[in-house]
Structure 1
Amino acid sequence: MTPETPVLRTERLDFLPYRPEHEDVFVALLRDEEVCHWMGQDLVPEPQLRELFRAILTEVYPQRRFDVWGLWLEGRYVGHAEVKPTGNVDGHELVTALLPAYWGRGLGGEVVRGLLRHAADTLGLTEAYGMVGAENTASLAMCRRLGFRHVRDVIGDDGSVTELLVIPTKDPG
């Protein structure tokens, strides 16, 4: 059983477990067409997203299934992050999504570094995985800068290609 999802902090970001009053910002993030496109997801109807949000509060946190946070910059919601078991390999996946207004500011790398520190120090993981769409050149470039390496391509039913990447949670140096 994983411990309770902790509050995390990086240089600029606060990773806060979601609370009921965060529902609208969570839904707005995952209703953004650009965010969904780069996450390789279809636009999910709002009622389903509200159901998903409630499941985070009523199932994921109480049952300690995995860690999930809202990301905050100077008190403003900017995105979402998770460390969770992945079905693609035997291991844990890092999931991040930022609102488009915050892309290109180095926040993605900061989120991933914060998640890696948590994965190593709190969860005891030696490596973590990421899934990035092959056409998401900005995220792939960031992952390569951070030290992720390609494991294999995962081909979706629709023919889309997602790269499965892996990174050690601790810098070997």
Structure 2
Amino acid sequence: MDAVALPWDFRPLDGERVRLTALRQSDLDPLYAMQSDPDVCRYLLYEPRSRDQVVDVLARDAGALRLENAGDYLQPAIRDREGRFLGTMYLELHSVEDRTAEIGWILLPEHQGHGYAQEAATVLLDLCFGELGLHRVYAELDPRNTASVALCTRLGMREEGLFREHMWLKGEWTDTGHHAILEREWAARR
């Protein structure tokens, strides 16, 4: 079994139409627009955030630039080739020993449905299964978020489980869907 190539320090990652970069202070307005939008937050673990909350989140996540230990995460901005903020990706190292990580994505509504999330996720999965040497990457999401479920399918992730009424969230019991892909499955697709 190969070892995970850690530590890994973030650097910009390029796709054909997108670039993943570290969050920066100039992202505050579009990040706030995204994280304060009730429609965007509907299936997320948090309620729409205030501007002050987003200021704190930006300060925290802009500094998350190294993967070394379980629990370390990256939250890069998704940008188009002109540098315009489209949304964010999420990658958390779940286990170094088991070589697993969690992936996620959020896009501003005006940039949804154009393939940006798929391209950005592909860039991160290439990193995960290439340079980092991970074995398994998974996504946990609300199965009512049909756009994210469809994205998991397009990425080649399989549904591994559906946890009924898994958590009390935003005043209701919500289900959690679990989707994953293995390094050999990703390699076969690429």
TM-score range, shorter chain: 0.7 to 0.9
User: Distance between the aligned counterparts of 2:66 and 2:181, measured in 1?
Assistant: 29
After superposition, what is the alpha-carbon deviation per residue over 1:13-38, rounded to whole angstroms, capped at 9, x for unaligned? Answer: 01011123223322222112221113
Partner of 2:187: 171
Partner of 1:97: 106
User: Distance between the aligned counterparts of 2:9 and 2:56, measured in 1?
Assistant: 21
> Is residue 2:83 matched to residue 1:67?
no
User: Is the 2:8–2:67 Cα contact (8 Å) retained in structure 1?
Assistant: no
> Is residue 2:19 matched to residue 1:14?
yes
Aligned length in residues: 170
Residues 122 and 51 of structure 1: CA distance in aligned 2, closer, same or farther (over 3 Å): same
Partner of 1:112: 121
> Is residue 2:93 matched to residue 1:77?
no
User: Is the 2:67–2:74 Cα contact (8 Å) retained in structure 1?
Assistant: no
User: Is the 2:101–2:138 Cα contact (8 Å) retained in structure 1?
Assistant: yes
Residues 31 and 86 of structure 1: CA distance in aligned 2, closer, same or farther (over 3 Å): farther
User: Distance between the aligned counterparts of 1:152 and 1:159, measured in 2?
Assistant: 17
Taking structure 1 as the reference length, the TM-score comes to 0.86
Structure 2 unpaired stretches of 5+: 1-5
Computing the radius of gyration from Cα coordinates, the structure with the larger value is 2
Flag as ranges the 4+ runs of structure 1 deviating above 6 A: none
Taking structure 2 as the reference length, the TM-score comes to 0.79
Deviation at 1:130, TM superposition (A): 0.6
User: Is the 1:39–1:97 Cα contact (8 Å) retained in structure 2?
Assistant: no
User: Is the 2:91–2:101 Cα contact (8 Å) retained in structure 1?
Assistant: yes
User: What pairs with 1:8-157 in structure 2 (closer than 5 Å)?
Assistant: 8-58=13-63, 60-61=64-65, 65-73=72-80, 74-86=82-94, 91-154=100-163, 155-157=166-168
Residues 61 and 141 of structure 1: CA distance in aligned 2, closer, same or farther (over 3 Å): closer
User: Distance between the aligned counterparts of 2:135 and 2:29, measured in 1?
Assistant: 35
RMSD value, Cα: 2.2
User: Distance between the aligned counterparts of 1:138 and 1:30, measured in 2?
Assistant: 18
After superposition, what is the alpha-carbon deviation per residue over 1:66-122, rounded to whole angstroms, capped at 9, x for unaligned? Answer: 2221111132110001211349xx631111111110111112211211110111123
User: Is the 1:83–1:119 Cα contact (8 Å) retained in structure 2?
Assistant: no
Structure 1 unpaired stretches of 5+: none
Deviation at 1:124, TM superposition (A): 1.3
Among candidates 173, 177, 183, match of residue 159 of structure 1: 173
